Structure 1
Amino acid sequence: MSSKNYGQKTCGTPPYVQKIRFENKIKKRNPQKICSDCKETSDSVKLFSSKVNKLEEIVDNFYKNPIKKNKNKQISIFNAKFTLNNIPCELEYDLSKFSLENLHKLVNFTTQNCNNNNKYSSSIEKID
């Protein structure tokens, strides 16, 4: 190649030049208005996301700080303190040995007595 041809274009086309006009103002687009259904959906998604975040936080905290297990205290032990004819009584049940039917009866009995505002002579005062 000779030094004459260096930098010349073979096709003979002029280089591309872009004209810039300063009088043309760039128009900003206004954001589209959200319809009511979209707003409700957005609100629902935000609410759902916040609930999921709370659940994830609880699960993370549970794994970081596990509940310390006490060998003497079992979860299946049910202690009931109540009065029967003005005599204090205390019962302890091992619920792991109850059948499903007996557990159901126990729940019905305790909730019935609690819901009747202790109008019967036997009433439950405290459940540990």
Structure 2
Amino acid sequence: MAILIAAAYFTYASLTRTGEIRVGVGVNGCIDTNCVTLPLPEADVTVTFADGHKLSGKTDATGVTNFRTDRSGEVTITATSPLLSEPITTTADISDGGYLSVDMADPAPFKLVRAS
């Protein structure tokens, strides 16, 4: 009987595994040749699975947003913001119940100036 209960538990656990996707969005700022990536709050982030299922959210003050999902497979992640030179897009894979962390930054840097 204990074996049946254990088998039922592990079957249930394998069917309900929840994965997490963490997306960080930033912009590159440079003074001369010294560049730094700054977090971009309030960027719109969309995660699209191969079957068309979408998750969407906004980055927080640290430029990060998190999604929980029970899906797996290839995802396309897109970040948009008026402060980005263009939408940033990347693809990645998430395994069943896995953790995916993606950091994206605008490839077009902006010039920072030194305060006098």
- TM bracket, shorter-chain basis: under 0.3
Q: Determine which structure has the larger helix proportion and give its number.
A: 1
Larger Rg: 1
TM-score under structure 1 normalisation? 0.21
TM-score under structure 2 normalisation? 0.23
Q: Determine which structure has the larger strand proportion and give its number.
A: 2
